[in-house]
Amino acid sequence: MALNPVTALLNPMSESPIGVFDSGIGGLSVLRSLHALMPAEHCVYWADSAHAPYGEKSEAFVRQRSLAIAQHLIDQHHIKALVVACNTATAATIHYLRQRHPQLSLIGVEPALKPALQLSRTQHIGVIGTRGTLGSDKFQRLLASLQDQAQFSVQACNGLALAIEHSVNPDAHPQASVQITELLGQYLQALGTFGTQAGQIDTLVLGCTHYVFVESSLRQLLGPHVHLVSTGEPVAKQTQRLLQAAGLLRSASQERAPTEHIRLMTNGDLAGLQAAANRWLGLPESACERADPQV
């Protein structure tokens, strides 16, 4: 169904897509959760891979990129909701996006400290994320608000998100998987001792959407008893709630195969996005395309 651009912008319809963006492929973990919960929805995903990872960029740069991508998704794809599938971009930009686009349903992600509190029995929680996320005012306020409820050990993981980006293209980056293992070992050791005994870290918050894709490696290093907490499912549920409240959910009877209504774009490594989309969402290469280089 063709949508009139002006009408779609001012009055989004249930047929309008959900916009999702991240600095690269990490947000595919959120997209996967969105599709699992709402398989009838159209989704347009923007990977800003030419500028990945955001977590090691300045806050001003991340804000500029986020605002530009959001405006493009609104103007060109007439989205009915926007999911900022990046912890760093959420911390740097969600307030500005809400000011600029008050008519749009906006959903961000943040390290899941509150859900982790419900899972932890030792009340010692580890948090891994990018330098940009963990150093942000938004995260520091969240952390301070919960300090009296548990002990939090926080570790910035420089280089890990980029290594995960590279891992989907082993021909170009043959050492990426080895680098991921080395970085995980280094950063987990820096956090402290993991386990279920008093004083040990029994819950680990994955404060970057990229990290979901190395859960198997984390599990091998941490064993079966440490809780791993990510944000994809809660973000999908919040998106569903907002769309339902606005009367913008597509009918379940409109459900189609994901190949028919998930569109992915990147301004970086197209082959990398195609490999990631195939590995983690089962999508064909044709679902991915070059993004507008002017954005």
User: Which residues are designated catalytic?
Assistant: 86, 208
Distance CA 285, CA 273 (A): 9
Q: Which residue has the tokens 């190395």?
A: 214
Hey, which bits of the chain come out as E strands?
18-22, 43-47, 81-84, 105-107, 124-129, 151-156, 203-207, 227-229, 262-266, 288-290
Contact status, residue 105 vs residue 12, Cβ threshold 8 Å? no
Q: In what order do the strands lie in the sheet with 43-47?
A: 105-107, 81-84, 18-22, 43-47, 262-266, 288-290
Which distant-in-sequence residues (6+ apart) come within 8 Å of 96 by Cβ? 63, 66, 67
DSSP state of 230: -
Alpha-carbon Rg for the chain, nearest whole angstrom, is 19
CA torsion 46-49-50-52 (nearest 10°) is 120
Distance CA 51, CA 47 (A): 9
What's the token pair of residue 10?
């001012």
